[in-house]
Structure 1
Amino acid sequence: MTTTPSLAQTTSGAGTPATASAAGNPLLAPWAGPYGGVPAFDKVKVEHFKPALEAAMAENLREIDAIAGNKQTATFDNTIGTLERAGQRLDEVQTVYGIWSGTLSGPEVQAIQREMAPRLAAFSDQINQNAPLFRRIEAVYNSPDKKKLTPEQQRLAWVYYNNFVRAGAKLDATAKTRLSAINQQLAGLFTKFSQNVLADETDSVLVLKTPADLAGLPASLRDDAANTATACKLTAAGVITNTRSSIEPFLTYSDQRKLREKAWRMFYNRGDNGGTHDNNATITEILQLRAERAKLLGYKTHAHWRLDNTMAKTPEAAMALMEQVWTPAVARVKEEVADMQALAKKEGAAADFKIEPWDYRYYAEKVRKARYDLDQNEVKQYLQARQDARGHVLGGRRTV
């Protein structure tokens, strides 16, 4: 794979295309309004993202170069503290970019993602592999004066030092070059993986051909399915899209077992259907590159690298905790399935009937309603999230 050119080559310099296209870009404008301001969502267009990312990355690299080139003795304030304050514009641009990528990821946005994901990875490596910058971070981390810092400052010095080491700051030049190439490849593969899943979500739907196919669905879900059929320009009683918010309610309420199975398989096989959007080869590449990267960085496996700076520390410790949870969890699931089997038998199911994955939500809801007379579809109307004057959610989770 050809390594992406440095950002200094592609984004800096007055009069370059990147600089010119960044002029007047709403993504680069200061956020206006109270409480730190908000981005100008109403002015943002897809074509703004690439030049904004390029300009913000170039600005961040100039900030990094200033820190790395500081001739003064490295201190917490002029190194770690300044690093903490750097990159604000890039953070703001990436915040909006992340929202678009997660909620408005049409073909134009996906094309930008495919191009920019490796470049963003290369950008991160330019910082993590900046030798003069790391020497300053290391000097602060190893300084006897570190004990004079506040506990929060000492923690931050530890985080920066270890994050740089984990990102390859101590590798030799050859290993750094290979590591950056791996990171860029992985960024592209992660993007490909997510876009393949999204394609299966977008392209696959469950068509409910007749009113009988709607059996068991509450009125709200029937209306949603009918509206979706209209939006898809299909002559049908309803359409279930291949998304969690559509599939899970259908699996919970539909009386049509064969359709529940189709819905379950459609959702859980996303990216695993062969053809253009199949992810199996992509997963293999990801695993191989992760294993190579882990060895480059001195770790036994990717899992050891991934968990090294977490509370668990090792995959062995994480597995031990999971095993402690797994045994009682499996026992509880068996109890739940036994309750479901008993209810299905009571309702006249065949003697050889067995609860399958596409039956679980359906019979769990039946058991809950039979035992507690509680219909979650009736309860949810009383659990609406409320916001205070500052936009903070009361009684619910805040979403962006």
Structure 2
Amino acid sequence: MNPLLSPFDTAPFSKIKDEHFKPAFLEAMEAARKEIDTITDNPNDPTFENTIEALEFTGQHLDRISSLFFNLNSAETNPKIQKIAQEISPLLSEFSNDVTLNEGLFKRIKSIYGKKDALNLSTEQQTLLEKKYKSFSRNGANLSEDKKKRLREIDTELAKLKLQFGENVLAETNKYELHLTNESDLDGLPEGEKEAAAQLAKSKDKDGWLVTLDYPSYIPFMKYVENRELRKTLSLAFGSKGFHEDELDNQSNVLKITKLRHERANLLGYETHAHFVLEERMAETPKKVHAFLNELLEKAKPAAKREFKQLEDFAKELDGIDRFQKWDSSYYSEKLKQKLFNLDDEKLKPYFKLENVIAGVFEVAEKLFGLRFEEVFDVDTYHEEVKTYKVYDLDSNFISLFYADFHPRKGKRGGAWMTSYKSQYKRNGEDVRPHVSNVCNFTRSTPSKPSLLTFTEVTTLFHEFGHGLHGMLANTTYPSLSGTSVYWDFVELPSQVMENWCYEKEALELFATHYESGEVIPMELVEKIKESATFQEGMATLRQLSFGLLDMAWHGGDPSNITDVKVHETKAFSGTQLYPDTPETCISTAFSHIFQGGYSSGYYSYKWAEVLDADAFAFFREKGIFDKEVATKFKENILSKGGTEKPMVLYKRFRGSEPKVEALLERAGLLDNVE
């Protein structure tokens, strides 16, 4: 019996076998095709209800299966799942094209769109109609037959290439191990990290210590280990993922993906892939994105150069480092931060026990948005480490199911993300509530210590939880406009704004208590966290801008003549480069955000959303960080509205005006650089 073929509410993870997926996908696609046929074969004239609304609710079972499968492929994959992904992705791409290139269906949509002004639709209905029409017109519905055929070929090929790219990055990450048997090689590494490295070695039946390219292993090593040669070895391994001219090399995948995306955009009448993507973003055009990135670059570069010089001088003075390299950066930054602020991540970690931080983020959500989280143990999960919570409002109405998966594993890709297993929507008088998940990669507990987070990990947890709230608090009629279904350069606002509470005394006192003594984090440490918040902000800004500019270098022009990935990347970085280049490394070949995820032509949106979040949090600070009135405005105008209206309309309704870049510059300590 295939559990995916019957309707289900919560995902039946423990009953699903890998071999269930392909038949379930095929059957769900067939069922969705029949639902589409019902719409196109309808003898009645097209109406909003019998066409647009009917289309919105087709393929829901297929969507559920897809969300389960592709999250497993990210969070708990194996060779079988990867093989199924390679087989299924082209079929899903073909199915998607069958829908958007269905002439009968588009004809009905077009006729409704043509008379939209006379239909007396609600704002949300107007948005849905606009979105449906554009999803067809922007994806080939108006093309000739030969161009439609080519579009299908491109989409099938892209689906395979993007998967292959991601699989290669994961395989590279899993493959690499730095095995150390001499304890002096770990000098400088805090005891907890050393213990974790020993535990990892033991789990693989090896003596000594193991260091990997997973963030909880890689980052502490780069930050604390005194042995410069070993830091170099690890740094080069991390920076060269997908860049070894072997079976896991991603250079040809990068070139193929960018060229196919460009050809696709041209087929659809757009100058570049970036022109195609940005038409549906707040930024609107590549020109505006470049102007935005370059304006920030102009403000950040003087500060970044000063900070870099300070770091170089400090390393030379401390250890006689003549040529400052990338593998020196984290190590000397941490030492300089300790000197300037007497603030060490290791001093902070005891106050950030994972369970306490989780309880803290829940309490912040309760104070702001009236939510209550109750851990439950009867919800099926895909791994024993996944925790589940039922979320209620203060009147005990069920709001959402929330899954949380916090530690690295072999079958789990790096980084942190939010996903949804079930969308929120309203139909037949029922408000169907969402199932939302946060996935992160934090250090596990060891025999002597619980899982203790670095301050950066605390902000990561709050960040992903902000995305989670966007999903949980959704209150829309249609699933495709619900939760995080918003313009990509708006989607980071709820996540990034949540990070601000990590720097506030009033919030820290709720959860930052010492895991042994129970002592609340001392005020002096809170002050130091705040003081150090702008430490090397110029360099950090430059780094983010460099990724945004690299993304636009790949997608904002014609890539036909690019033959060398590294040469193209080096050119893109020329205006932001601080460190000497390392020929052995390449960012692009492991830049999953833009080559596997959804950030192509959209990486700038992290900085774009920072402008929004700095401006939004300034409003909270004016009134009080737990001010109910501001929180309610944010919940009702941003978090619950999803993609039902244009983002700037929603933002202005919350804030009363458009965001100002000065709020970001002030928070980042970069206003000094403004003439």
Alignment-derived partner of residue 70 in structure 1: 42
Shift of 1:335: 2.8
- The reply to whether residue 282 of structure 1 matches residue 253 of structure 2 is yes
- Per the alignment, residue 357 of structure 1 pairs with 326
Q: How does 1:228-267 map to 2 (within 5 A)?
A: 228-235=200-207, 237-267=208-238
Asked if the contact 1:80/1:160 (under 8 Å) is kept, the reply is yes
Offset at 1:272? Answer: 0.6
Aligned partner of 2:20 among 48, 70, 87: 48
Partner of 1:79: 51
1:174-230 deviations in whole A, cap 9, x for unaligned?
Answer: 111110011101111111111111111111122223101211111221122112212
Deviations 1:141-166 (A, max 9, x none): 11155551111111111111111111
| Counterpart residue number, 1:10 | none
- Map of 1:129 onto structure 2: 101
Match of 1:292 among 245, 257, 263: 263
Structure 1 residues 379 and 26: CA distance shift in structure 2, 3 A: farther
Residue aligning to 1:215? 187
Q: Distance in 2 between matches of 1:73 and 1:255?
A: 74
Unaligned stretches of 5+ residues in structure 1 = 1-23, 32-36
- Provide Cα deviations, 1:305-327, integer angstroms capped at 9, x if missing partner: 12122122211111111111122
Separation (CA, whole Å) in 1 of partners of 2:302 and 2:10: 48
Aligned to 2:553: none
**Structure 2 partner of 1:382:** 351
Counterpart position of 2:86: 114
- Paired with 1:335 and 1:87, the residues of 2 have a C-alpha distance of 55
Report 1 or 2 for greater relative contact order, CA contacts < 8 Å, sequence distance ≥ 6.
Answer: 2
Looking at structure 2, the residues matched to 72 and 331 of structure 1 have their Cα atoms a distance apart, in angstroms, of: 65
Q: Does the Cα contact within 8 Å between 1:140 and 1:146 map onto a contact in 2? A: no
Q: Please list the CA deviations of residues 38-72 of structure 1 after superposition, one character each: whole Å capped at 9, or x if unmatched.
A: 21112122111111111211111111111122222
Task: Give CA-to-partner distance per residue, 1:106-133, whole Å, 9 cap, x none.
Answer: 1111111111111111111011111111
**1:274-295 deviation digits (Å, cap 9, x = unpaired):** 1111111122222222222111
CA 186–146 in structure 1, closer or farther in 2 if over 3 Å, else same = farther
Aligned-residue CA RMSD (Å):
2.1
What residue identity is the alignment partner of 2:7?
P
Q: Which runs of 5+ in 2 are unaligned?
A: 363-372, 375-389, 392-401, 405-457, 469-675
Give, in whole Å, the separation in 1 of the partners of 2:241 and 2:287. 30
Q: Could you tell me how far apart the structure 1 residues matched to 2:24 and 2:286 are? A: 39
Q: Does 1:326 align with 2:297?
A: yes
Structure number with higher helix proportion: 1
The residue number in structure 1 matching 2:284 is 313
SS of equivalent to 1:207: strand
Do the aligned residues in 2 keep the contact of 1:147 with 1:154 (CA within 8 Å)? no
- After superposition, the C-alpha distances for 1:238-292 in whole angstroms (9 at most, x for unaligned) are 1111223322222122222111111111112110111111111122222222222
Out of 113, 116, 121, the residue aligned to residue 149 of structure 1 is: 121
- Structure showing greater radius of gyration is 1
Percent identity of paired positions between Structure 1 and Structure 2: 35
1:25 aligns with 2
CA deviation string 1:323-363 (max 9, x = no partner): 1112223333223223322332342324x242x21222222
2:198 to 226, 232, 241: 226
Aligned counterparts of 1:99 and 1:327: Cα–Cα separation in 2: 39
Alpha-carbon distance between aligned partners in 1 of 2:131 and 2:19, rounded to the nearest angstrom: 36
Rounded to whole Å, the distance in 2 between the matches of 1:380 and 1:139 is: 60
Which of 137, 145, 152 is the matching residue for 1:180? 152
TM score, norm. by length of structure 2: 0.52
Contact 1:56 1:89 survives alignment (8 Å): yes
In 1, Cα distance between equivalents of 2:220 and 2:10: 34
Q: Distance in 2 between matches of 1:68 and 1:365?
A: 63
**Matched residue type, 1:369:** Q
Query: Counterparts of 2:77 and 2:218 in 1: how far apart (Å)?
Result: 20
